[in-house]
Amino acid sequence: MGTKIKLEVASPALRRGKSALRAVIREVKEEIAVIRERDPAARSDIEVLLLYSGLHALLAYRVAHHLHEKEYYLPARFISQAARALTGIEIHPGAKIGRGLFIDHGMAVVIGETAELGDNCTLYQGVTLGGTGKDVGKRHPTLGNNVMVGAGAKVLGPFKVGDNAKIAANAVVLKEVPAGATAVGIPAKIVRRDGARVDDLDQIHIPDPVAQQLAALQARIEELERKEKERENTVSAQTSD
């Protein structure tokens, strides 16, 4: 009788444990599928599971974030710092990250405590989602869905980067980026693509407003030089006559 009661009490806990395990396995499979879809170098699921630091950091974050939500702050930070030592990727347990995040290579990626990321975002190596040092409370940026942040880019402050936005490599973003726009430069300026399609994972072929302005100035200088040469030729011809 006593054994039967123990089994009946244990059964709900066992079912919850099995359900949690299935959820973890499903989430790992989803994360692996995301990496296989976006990284052409990923040849197999087992390769991704064993060798991709972005996946390891994200899985550690999920555990740390759960502990942080339960107010177990010290063990949460311990897990995040251990993951940082192993992967080179620092994700604060307090950050809020949606589904389908892909951290490519990942070394030196930093995601701050109050950062928020929507679904299907992509971060390349050296990205910082940080604060400016003067804000309190909400200090870090919020990324919408399908946002791409290029290698070495710094997004600093408690503002929104809209859905489907792109931030070019090495840009320093200090203010809001509208949905569907591209931020380029230091400090970053907003560039729209004028209807031209840019590959979602292309960090290179993004319009640069500074380069465009320099090209316009060069064209103007060449035009003035041409007119000056024509004027000199006219004056020379009149003098000869």
Q: Choose among 68, 28, 69, 64: nearest CA to 49.
A: 28
172 and 116 share one domain: yes
The 154-156 sheet, strands edge to edge: 90-91, 110-111, 128-130, 154-156, 172-173
The predicted structure's pLDDT at residue 195: 41
38 and 65 share one domain: no
Per the prediction, the chain carries an average pLDDT of 85
The predicted structure's pLDDT at residue 230: 86
Domain count, the chain: 4
Domain residue limits at 11: 1-49
The predicted structure's pLDDT at residue 203: 59
Tens-place pLDDT, residues 78-106:
999 999 999 999 999 999 999 999 999 88
200 and 105 share one domain: yes
- DSSP for 143-192 reads E-TT-EE-TT-EEESS-EE-TT-EE-TT-EE-S-B-TT-EEETTTTEEE-
Within 10 Å of residue 91's Cβ, how many Cβ atoms?
28
The predicted structure's pLDDT at residue 217: 83
234 and 158 share one domain: no
169 and 219 share one domain: no
128 and 179 share one domain: yes
200 and 148 share one domain: yes
Overall pTM > 0.85: no
Q: Do the beta carbons of residue 175 and residue 190 sit within 8 Å? A: no
138 and 182 share one domain: yes
Tens-place pLDDT, residues 47-90:
999 999 999 999 999 999 999 999 999 999 999 999 999 999 99
115 and 89 share one domain: no
